[in-house]
Amino acid sequence: MRLRTLLDLPELQLELLSGEPELNRPIQSVMTTDLPDPSRYLHGGELVLTGMVWRRNPEDSASFVKALADAGVCALAAGDGISGEIPIDLRAACRERGLPLLRVPADIAFTTVTEEVVRRLSPVRADDITDFLGRHRYLVSASMTSEGEGLGAVLDLVRQQLSMRCWVLSPTGQEIAANGSALPEEVKAKALRHYLSGKRLPYPLPAQAMTVLSAGDPTQPRLANWLMICDSDVTQWEPQHHLLAHELTALVEAERRRLDGTREAKRVAARDLVKMVTADADPTELAYQLKLTGLPADETLVVAAVQLDGGLARSILEDLLCRLPAAVAVLDQTAFAIVAGEPEVLRQAINQAANLAPALAHSPLRIGVSGPATGASGLRGAVDEARHACAMAGMSREPVAIIGEDELTSHMMLLAAVPDGVRRAFRDRLLGPLLEYDRVHRADLVPTLRAFLAYSGSWTKCAEVLHVHVNTLRYRIQRIEQMTGRDLGKLDARVDLFLALALAGNP
């Protein structure tokens, strides 16, 4: 247990008076004393509680603090139980020795602080909870708990017995369960980044005195599992706490599998719905199937299409849309989601996919979102829009590419409809010589071409942006024309090269 963790416990109301740079110090034990020199009873790493009875005059503070610092204690927590004021001389002595000083409020008993620390450090209590978790995991695996009940109850028990806060998250950052207040967004983002980037787990977050753990099947990609964050530093764990973490994460995985199983019936209905839509089924039949999936037949519907290598597109969509009325199914290696609501609501949920970028360096996630459709009759058009938008997203070089209805009217829509082989041949024929020349000579012909077209062929503006002389720019454009066989003074040549650059993606 680290000093930072103790200060974060709201029920203790401890106030840090000095020693902020030392908040990551580990607390090994707790001791209450009012001896003028308690050094013979100290072994190092203690949180020392004192009522300051030893203080007869200001000079006593220096000798008392020296004894603590020389013994290597973790911190001093002081309070007189009456005013709660800490003498200036004691504050000064702690600052001089680099010893963290905490103020204990007058209405908080030392026994309350002691019990909290002991509870956190107790390996016996951790053993008891570990045994309980093992039994509870068996019950969850046997489907003997109701949905969502078991995991929340167990996390509450961990908080009550060990004063350890835990958060279970999905890979997109959705909070599955927790036993504490909301996790700060910056901490969540940091934990997700470490988890998804493949770092070895458990992974400590020293600045927050927290630990990131994988709560899933180690043989599966992390995108398919959940993660858990606890406000306890793994570098300070005893063997019993490692066993506790193992049982707790195993319980979380059992709950994830159970929840996944409960979705199967809805998936079958959703798959039938998507098949009916793509087969141009009668709107009356579609309306009935929509009701079977729990969606309205006469309200606004929006469609999302997702592609990702490895068969994880469906689980990611289900994760992103877990709080929206949605039907998710896979058809022809594309996951589709039909969602009740306005496009803005769907887009807001879909945008959370950006959290997955660290795990997608070699397998990009492509997402297309349709415009709104009114009821069953407009579903076929929305599915086609989402599919085309997804194809457009596939042309991006970003790890997560999301294309919405606003982009469906651009030239990229036409390019997305062209077969992959034709697109590659067109791009390579025009840009291949330039890319190879830049690689061999470390030149900038392709960036020059981008800038020249972006500024509509303005020699002055383009040269200014590239920080080159106009004559240098003219030489580069001449080389580009020679190597591509295109006259950049003509509109059709500019269009050809513009489209080739679009196919090449962002630099």
What is the tens place of the pLDDT at every residue in 345-372?
888 999 999 989 999 988 899 999 998 9
Sites in the chain below the pLDDT cut of 50: 124, 139-140, 142-148
> Which SS3 state, helix, strand or coil, does residue 340 take?
strand
Specify the pLDDT at position 130. Answer: 60
Rounded Cα distance between 365 and 363, Å, is: 7
Instruction: Identify the helix (H) or strand (E) that includes residue 248.
Output: helix 239-262
CATH code, residues 264-416: 3.30.70
Closest by Cα among 7, 13, 4, 16 to 86: 16
- Taking CA 54 as the corner, what is the angle to CA 50 and CA 57, rounded to the nearest 5 degrees? 125
Output the six-digit token pair for 176: 């599955």
| Cβ neighbours around 473 below 10 Å, total | 20
Residue 360 has phi, psi (to 5 degrees) of: -120, 25
Rounded Cα distance between 428 and 420, Å, is: 12
Would you say 302 and 326 are in contact if contact means Cβ atoms under 8 Å apart?
no
- Strands 400-403, 226-230: pairing is unpaired
Would you say 372 and 302 are in contact if contact means Cβ atoms under 8 Å apart?
yes
Would you say 161 and 125 are in contact if contact means Cβ atoms under 8 Å apart?
yes
Rounded Cα distance between 166 and 154, Å, is: 10
The number of C-alpha atoms within 13 Å of 411 and in the hemisphere containing its C-beta is 8
Specify the pLDDT at position 375. Answer: 82
DSSP annotation of 26: B
Specify the pLDDT at position 49. Answer: 93
Question: What sign for the dihedral angle of Cα 294, 297, 303, 307?
Answer: positive
Question: What sign for the dihedral angle of Cα 482, 488, 491, 497?
Answer: positive
Partner residues linked to 101 by β-bridges: 18, 76
**Residue that the structure tokens 């200036």 belong to:** 88
Question: Does domain 3-120 fall into CATH 3.40.1390.20?
Answer: yes
Rounded Cα distance between 336 and 354, Å, is: 18
> Which SS3 state, helix, strand or coil, does residue 19 take?
coil
Would you say 171 and 227 are in contact if contact means Cβ atoms under 8 Å apart?
yes
Architecture per CATH, domain 420-504, reads as: Orthogonal Bundle (1.10)
Residues 6+ away with beta carbon under 8 Å from 470 = 459, 460, 463
Rounded Cα distance between 236 and 232, Å, is: 8
Specify the pLDDT at position 134. Answer: 60
Would you say 358 and 197 are in contact if contact means Cβ atoms under 8 Å apart?
yes
Question: What are the structural domain ranges in the chain?
Answer: 3-120, 122-261, 264-416, 420-504
Would you say 251 and 151 are in contact if contact means Cβ atoms under 8 Å apart?
yes
DSSP states of 354-420: GGGGGG-SSS-EEEEE---EETGGGHHHHHHHHHHHHHHHTT--SSEEEE-GGGGGSHHHHHHTS-H
CATH code, residues 122-261: 3.30.450.40
* 193-226 pLDDT tens trace: 999 998 888 989 878 889 999 987 888 889 989 9
Specify the pLDDT at position 144. Answer: 41
83 to each of 72, 78, 92, 160, 485, how far by Cα in Å? 29, 12, 19, 30, 87
Q: In angstroms, how far is CA 466 from the centroid of its own chain?
A: 37
